[in-house]
């Protein structure tokens, strides 16, 4: 049991002038499941490897449960890198497969048996302890490998994209199991992934990192409901948030031919660097079709519709001067279009021009100059 602290931690690779991880301050609470998420090359794996002792720390320090481990060897840190392709040994029983590392460490036999039995109970492997791997299902084999990490009772679990080498079926199943297991064991965990869905579904808290700089840390709903900047807004959530930059005219955002009202205190926060522009973001589920009379709505030409039964989605382009933008390029990049979730029983048709109204309480507003949140 331990908390983990990154205290002004920087990692610069030899020969690079830009840090891969820059002045990171992050606290993982005792027993917490923290997911570090970001695109490829953002520094998330480097961060995990610094905690593991695989990467040097150029500036700052790392603490595990009050102990400064910055210059400690990996094996002395009391951490477990889970799922490093644990092999199952065919001639050893499930119990021996789980406990052999303790035997090497000289743990007394009774203690090994006790810990193995505890782990087996959590993993529901108790009836199989004396079986050989051959007589187990694939899922059970996978859990024996987890058991091998659990019995060590490390202070911290480190997981670097642990699901990446599993097939799709096993991945979803294992995702649920890891999250449930971590909660049962209460071991402080740092989990690294590029997949925001994994982050949202598994973490107690999520830390989003980009180009070596921590963007935001918070509970999944916090990040989803109040992203601190444009990057987090676009990265978290699927389908992703609609984000676009618009001129600000008389306290309104000019969206194509239409305008929508902006809160006064937000407009007041804009600076000359923002050039009278504002970044408006809204999630597909936070807007709806509006009638012709509705104020604060904008026109969208529908390019594609999807009926998923429970939900309907429309994809379209904002109408300016009576014309929809980028008509030629539309099909190639649905991401650039505005996406709105609508009632599947009242789906507009492709080619329709509809009016869209954003729920004003669910609008995300950012300054173009800093990309930081304004509301």
Q: Could you tell me the maximum CA-CA distance found in the chain, to the nearest angstrom?
A: 80
Q: In this chain, which stretch among 71-79, 228-236, 261-269, 309-317 interacts with other proteins, using CB under 8 A?
A: 71-79
Q: Which is nearer to other proteins, 311 or 335 (CB)?
A: 335
Residue 116 sits at φ, ψ, to 5 deg, of -65, -40
Strands in 67-68's sheet, in edge-to-edge order, are 21-28, 4-11, 59-64, 67-68
Tokens read off for 62 = 């790392």
Shortest CB 272 distance to other proteins, Å? 38
Residue 140 binds to other proteins (criterion: CB under 8 A): yes
Give yes or no for a contact between 5 and 62, defined as CB atoms under 8 angstroms apart.
yes
Tokens coding 244: 């676009």
**Sole binder of other proteins in the list 1, 180, 219, 295 (CB under 8 A):** 180
- Is residue 134 within the footprint of other proteins (CB under 8 A)? yes
239 upstream amide cis, omega within 30 of 0: yes
Residue (166 or 347) nearer to other proteins, CB:
166
Q: How far is the CB of 290 from other proteins (least distance, A)?
A: 35
- The three-state secondary structure class of 74 is helix
As beta bridge partners, residue 36 has: 192, 207
19 or 281, CB closer to other proteins?
19
Q: Please give the Cα distance from 64 to 59 (Å, whole number).
A: 17
Footprint on residues 258-287 left by other proteins (CB under 8 A): none
Toward other proteins, which CB reaches closer, 28 or 178? 178
- Identity of the residue, 93 or 277, whose beta carbon is nearer to other proteins in the bound complex: 93
| Residue 121: CB minimum distance to other proteins, A | 9
Does 310 help bind other proteins (rule: CB under 8 A)? no
Note whether 196 binds other proteins by CB under 8 A: no
Nearest Cα neighbor of 10 from 74, 68, 61, 76 is: 61
Strands (E), 149-194: 156-160, 188-193
96 binds other proteins (CB under 8 A): yes
17, 18, 66, 85: residue in contact with other proteins (rule CB under 8 A): 85
User: What is the phi/psi pair of residue 282, to 5°?
Assistant: -150, 150
Q: Does 7 bind other proteins (CB under 8 A)?
A: no
Q: Candidates 171-179, 278-286, 314-322, 330-338 — which segment interacts with other proteins by CB under 8 A? A: 171-179
**Stated length of the chain:** 375
Cβ distance to other proteins smaller for residue 134 or 345: 134
Minimum distance between the CB of residue 372 and other proteins, rounded to whole angstroms? Answer: 26
CB 271: neighbour CB atoms within 10 A?
A: 10
Q: Name which of 6 and 366 has its Cβ closer to other proteins.
A: 6
What gap in Å lies between CA 272 and CA 345, rounded to an integer? 46
Nearest to 150 by CA among 201, 176, 112, 204: 112
CA distances in angstroms from 56 to 23, 53, 62, 63, 193, listed in the order given? 14, 7, 11, 14, 21
Residue 109 touching other proteins (CB under 8 A): no
SS3 at position 248: strand
Should residue 36 be labelled a site residue for other proteins when binding is judged by CB under 8 A? no
Per-residue x/- track, 227-246, other proteins (CB under 8 A): --------------------
Residues of this chain that bind other proteins (CB under 8 A): 13-16, 20, 40-46, 52-56, 73-75, 84-92, 96, 100-101, 103-104, 122-124, 132-143, 145, 161, 164-170, 173, 176-177, 180-181
């Amino acid at each position: 049991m331990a908390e983990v602290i990154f205290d002004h931690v920087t990692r610069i690779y030899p020969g690079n002038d830009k840090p891969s991880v820059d002045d990171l301050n992050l606290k993982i609470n005792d027993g917490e499941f923290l997911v570090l998420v970001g695109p490829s090359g953002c520094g998330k794996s480097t961060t995990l490897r610094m905690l593991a002792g695989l990467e040097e720390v150029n500036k700052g320090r790392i603490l595990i449960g009050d102990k400064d481990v910055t210059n400690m060897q990996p094996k002395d840190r009391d951490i477990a890198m889970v799922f490093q392709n644990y092999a199952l040994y065919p001639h050893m029983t499930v119990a021996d497969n789980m406990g052999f590392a303790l035997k090497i460490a000289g743990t007394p036999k009774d203690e090994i048996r006790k810990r193995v039995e505890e782990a087996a109970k959590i993993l529901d492997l108790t009836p199989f302890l004396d079986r050989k791997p051959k007589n187990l299902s694939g899922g059970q084999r996978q859990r024996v490998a987890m058991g091998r990490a659990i019995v060590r009772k490390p202070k911290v679990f480190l997981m670097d994209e642990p699901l990446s080498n599993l097939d799709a079926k096993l991945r979803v199943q294992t995702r649920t199991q890891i999250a449930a297991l971590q909660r049962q064991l209460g071991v402080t965990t740092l989990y690294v992934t590029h997949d925001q869905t994994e982050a949202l579904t598994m973490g107690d808290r999520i830390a989003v990192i980009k180009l070596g700089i921590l963007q935001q840390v918070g509970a999944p709903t916090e990040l989803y409901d109040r992203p601190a900047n444009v990057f987090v807004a676009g990265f978290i959530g699927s389908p992703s948030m609609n984000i676009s930059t618009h001129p600000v005219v008389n306290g309104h955002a000019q969206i194509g031919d239409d305008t929508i009202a902006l809160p006064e205190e937000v407009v007041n926060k804009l600076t000359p660097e923002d050039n009278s522009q504002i970044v408006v973001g809204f999630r597909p589920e936070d807007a709806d079709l509006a009638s012709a009379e509705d104020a604060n709505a904008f026109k969208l030409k529908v390019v594609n519709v999807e009926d998923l039964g429970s939900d309907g989605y429309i994809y379209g382009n904002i109408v300016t001067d009576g014309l929809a933008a980028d008509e030629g390029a539309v099909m190639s990049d649905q991401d650039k279009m505005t996406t709105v979730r609508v009632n599947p029983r009242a789906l507009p048709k492709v080619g329709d021009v509809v009016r869209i109204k954003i729920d004003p309480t669910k609008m995300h507003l950012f300054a173009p100059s800093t990309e930081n949140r304004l509301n």
